[in-house]
Amino acid sequence: MAGSTLEIKNLHVAIEGEEILTGVNLTINGGEFHAVMGPNGTGKSTLASAIMGHPKYEITEGEVYIDGKDVLEMEVDERAQAGLFLAMQYPSEISGVTNSDFLRSSINARREEGDEISLMKFIKEMDGTMDLLEMDKNMAQRYLNEGFSGGEKKRNEILQLMMLKPAIAILDEIDSGLDIDALKVVSKGINQMRDDNFGCLIITHYQRLLNYITPDKVHVMMKGRIVKSGGPELAQRLEDEGYDWIKQELGIEDETVGQKA
């Protein structure tokens, strides 16, 4: 089998003592695109952040493996080195560090000392990727995410995704706040990544992103766990009918978990 495998088993996560994930099970293989959907406050973003090792989230139960290696034992940077990537919903702004220096440091962090990417190769690759994402060239020299518009931040996350080429990417609401043109551009970037060696977990609130990126599997999250899974047709039905039918089917009254996230 090509690519990597991310296995999430019975994952429970708490923030400040309150349980937000209540037992998530999910396996993503190289070559597969999974979409996790659900209303606000059901734990979708918590799942994304917890897998990457966000300092605020506490894993209370369960396991996460990438290619059989225990992810929860790893530091954040080790998770990235193992092949994971998280496109963040709210990426940090870092003043004084140019986007280009940051990207180059990130790429070199994955390479051995003495095998750093050459400046020419880096610039060429970055220029090409920025063109594809229709990004203004001066963004390379701007400070990381500082003063970026919402749309620029999202494109910048995808720029990193494409330059870092992880084995498994988690995209946390990459579509939020994007107009339709930007959404198309971002989708183009993500689709370009599609091959047997790349697995992707797309977390989204809206179905519209899935008009441009076709998922292989769709999962619905409620009350901090996956309550329903299916193929692309499930996303379509959610678009047409909303979430109420699932709640009725499963006898759920309040789909949220913990305090409104």
Give the binding site for another protein (CB under 8 A): 52-55, 75-77, 79-81, 85-86, 88, 91-92, 94-97, 101-102, 105-106, 109-110, 143-144, 160, 164
Measured between alpha carbons, how far is 204 from 38 in angstroms, rounded to an integer?
Answer: 7
For another protein, the closer CB: 159 or 190: 159
**Beta-sheet pairing, 168-172 with 84-87:** parallel
For another protein, the closer CB: 8 or 210: 8
Shortest Å, Cβ 152 to another protein: 16
For another protein, the closer CB: 44 or 79: 79
What Cα–Cα distance (Å) separates residue 128 from each residue in 143, 149, 189?
A: 20, 21, 12
**Beta-sheet pairing, 199-204 with 168-172:** parallel
Shortest Å, Cβ 162 to another protein: 13
Residue 182 backbone phi and psi in degrees, to 5:
-65, -40
Q: Which helix (H) or strand (E) holds 121?
A: helix 119-132
Shortest Å, Cβ 94 to another protein: 5
For another protein, the closer CB: 144 or 222: 144
For another protein, the closer CB: 2 or 109: 109
Shortest Å, Cβ 103 to another protein: 8
What Cα–Cα distance (Å) separates residue 81 from each residue in 25, 77, 107?
A: 23, 6, 10
Shortest Å, Cβ 202 to another protein: 17
Q: Which helix (H) or strand (E) holds 49?
A: helix 44-52
Q: Which residues of 29-46 are buried (b: 16+ CB within 10 A; e: fewer)?
A: bbbbbbbbbbbebbbbbb
For another protein, the closer CB: 56 or 184: 56
SS3 61: strand
DSSP string, 198-222: -EEEEEES-SGGGGTS--SEEEEEE
Shortest Å, Cβ 39 to another protein: 25
DSSP 111: S
For another protein, the closer CB: 93 or 195: 93
Shortest Å, Cβ 49 to another protein: 9
